[in-house]
Structure 1
């Protein structure tokens, strides 16, 4: 699989997950609507690099999310206010098995053997180890953050 040194999250981004390479370095598997590739950075580095490109940083995005959404676990982050890209984690962002999803590409979620079956905008699917109600709650919170930041920007 092709390894990139850099990546900026864009409107085609569906999800990403961290993986250790053969040397033990944390890299990232990125899935876009039409492409799959590895990036020689951790998921948090990719998110931070993408946010820095538009003038702020991951720490600030997380603080904004906490202020707007209150005391919840696993805050989503607004990565690009121009393209309205919000990402949400399946678990703690520091956990290596965390998967970051873009809610814009999630078209349907269903329960499958106590896991979540996700159908994406391009018709592809993925099963993750998470209860449907937990995953859907995180999806709704991410959509809520996107709505709140859109409303604040217009006001």
Structure 2
């Protein structure tokens, strides 16, 4: 089967991971449950575009999460909180070898002593070997969970009329 190379890709609830690719024809491999997509844009460009579709930007989301949770490096990104799409980087997003994993799809993470990396198993049963420490991935999962809780709380409080005190005159 021939690789289909796309100009762009829409991040969705089906997106499991974005992998950087050192290839002349494409810069990212997007993994979904039943499909691989080869995209000309870099992972961070795809993340930013997805944030823009949600009326924000990567920088805006990054600053908001940093402010709310006190995180400065490898900040998890709430791409679309109302759709429960949260992604986290494995490395600094400006580094070429930065993978983006989508929290809702991660089932387990196990250290891989042979490669000094980790094996991530997704809820679909797919596995991905990533050159990053177990500690880093566990920390990123924890940070993303905090981000989800915080955004869920803020969204519930903000949009639930019963949660705000009534004004009295």
TM above 0.5, yes or no, is yes
Q: How far off is 1:143 after superposition? A: 1.4
User: How many residue pairs are counted as aligned between the two chains?
Assistant: 153
Which structure exhibits the higher relative contact order, with contacts defined as CA atoms closer than 8 Å and separated by 6 or more residues? 1
Which ranges of 4 or more aligned residues in structure 1 deviate by more than 3 Å? none
Separation of aligned partners in 1, 2:13 and 2:90: 20
Residue 124 of structure 2 aligns to a residue in which SS? coil
Residue 13 of structure 1 aligns to a residue in which SS? coil
Residue 74 of structure 2 aligns to a residue in which SS? coil
2:109 counterpart residue number: 109
1:55 counterpart residue number: 55
The TM-score with structure 2 as length reference comes to 0.85
RMSD: 1.4
Instruction: Please give the per-residue CA displacement for 1:75-122, whole angstroms capped at 9, x wherever unaligned.
Output: 011101221111100010000000000011110111221321111111
The runs of 5 or more residues in structure 1 that have no matched partner are: none
Return closer, same or farther for 1:71/1:22 CA change in 2, 3 Å cut-off.
Answer: closer
Please identify the structure whose Cα radius of gyration is greater: 2
The runs of 5 or more residues in structure 2 that have no matched partner are: 158-169
2:22 counterpart residue number: 20
Q: Structure 1 or 2: larger strand share?
A: 1
